[in-house]
């Protein structure tokens, strides 16, 4: 789709916010319970500053190297989360950059993060909800063990779950996966007594559906910044 004439980061953010409010209305949720993250991979510090000017404060990056060189050139008031796969040899570099690591998906990564964390570090467990072979994220059947593993660390705190469902052009196709992540969360909370309030799910194409299924954080790139080159 060609961008509509006069479309800017500001007008796109207005549209996203409006659609978030509508999805909250439809599902009887308080709009304060849904955080909008701008996923800024491949975007310049100037584009990020534009989004920050429009009031966005939460940003997501998927590569440690890119984030390390970019974050220092962005407004210092922003909160950054890692939403991409984290290799263990990049843990030390990643920790000082990000408030939250959303892509924790193995016991070995949990151990490495705990070893190098210098303070309390919130994490989300990334779940490969559809069991796709080529995708990162833990198998839903391993999730219980990973919650226990984080609870056994000195410095990590698990705040919830994150998922990237199979790509589908039709947003309704994502709904069952979002519902499954929420149900998995409910089950894990019941079994472990760990509150897992955060559900990071929904991207440009399907964030409205994700909100209807309980998302507390939506990760939006294209719908804010335009098409990636």
**Among all residues, whose Cβ is closest to ligand PLP?**
221
Pick from 204, 206, 149: nearest CA to 175: 206
Q: Which is nearer to ligand PLP, 61 or 114 (CB)?
A: 61
Q: Which is nearer to ligand PLP, 146 or 220 (CB)?
A: 220
Nearest distance, CB of residue 13 and ligand PLP, angstroms: 13
How many other CB atoms are there within 10 angstroms of residue 69's CB atom? 10
Q: Which is nearer to ligand PLP, 202 or 214 (CB)?
A: 202
Binding site for ligand PLP (CB under 6 A): 39, 41, 62, 83-84, 164, 203-205, 219-223
Instruction: Look up residue 137 and give its DSSP letter.
Output: S
Q: Which is nearer to ligand PLP, 44 or 151 (CB)?
A: 44
Pick from 181, 186, 178, 164: nearest CA to 213: 178
Q: Which is nearer to ligand PLP, 124 or 147 (CB)?
A: 124
Give CA–CA dist 229/226, Å, rounded. 9
Nearest distance, CB of residue 191 and ligand PLP, angstroms: 27
Nearest distance, CB of residue 220 and ligand PLP, angstroms: 5
Nearest distance, CB of residue 154 and ligand PLP, angstroms: 28
Residue 125, beta-bridge partner list: 104, 161
Nearest distance, CB of residue 213 and ligand PLP, angstroms: 16
For the chain, list the strands marked E by DSSP: 35-39, 58-61, 79-82, 100-104, 121-127, 156-163, 198-200, 217-220
Query: What are the structure tokens assigned to 116, written together?
Result: 């190098």
Q: Residue 170: helix, strand or coil by DSSP?
A: coil
């Amino acid at each position: 789709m060609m961008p509509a004439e006069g479309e800017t980061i500001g007008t796109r953010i207005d549209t996203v916010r409006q659609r978030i409010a509508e999805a909250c209305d439809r599902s009887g949720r308080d709009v304060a319970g849904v955080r909008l993250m701008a996923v800024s991979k491949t975007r310049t510090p100037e584009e990020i500053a534009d989004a920050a000017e429009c009031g966005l404060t939460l940003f997501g990056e998927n590569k440690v190297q890119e984030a390390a060189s970019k974050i220092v050139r962005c407004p210092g008031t922003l909160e950054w989360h890692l939403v991409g796969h984290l290799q263990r040899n990049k843990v030390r570099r990643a920790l000082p950059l990000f408030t939250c690591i959303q892509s924790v998906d193995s016991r070995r990564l949990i151990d490495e993060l705990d070893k190098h964390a210098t303070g309390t570090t919130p994490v989300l467990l990334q779940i490969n909800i559809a069991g796709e072979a080529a995708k990162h994220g833990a198998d839903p059947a391993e999730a219980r063990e990973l919650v226990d593993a984080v609870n056994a660390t000195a410095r990590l705190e698990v705040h919830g779950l994150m998922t990237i469902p199979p790509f589908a052009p039709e947003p309704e196709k994502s709904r069952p996966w979002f519902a499954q992540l929420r149900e998995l969360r409910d089950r894990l909370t019941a079994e472990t007594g760990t509150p897992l309030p955060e559900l990071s799910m929904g991207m440009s194409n399907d964030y409205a559906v994700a909100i209807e299924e309980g998302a507390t954080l939506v990760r939006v790139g294209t719908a804010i910044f335009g098409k990636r080159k």
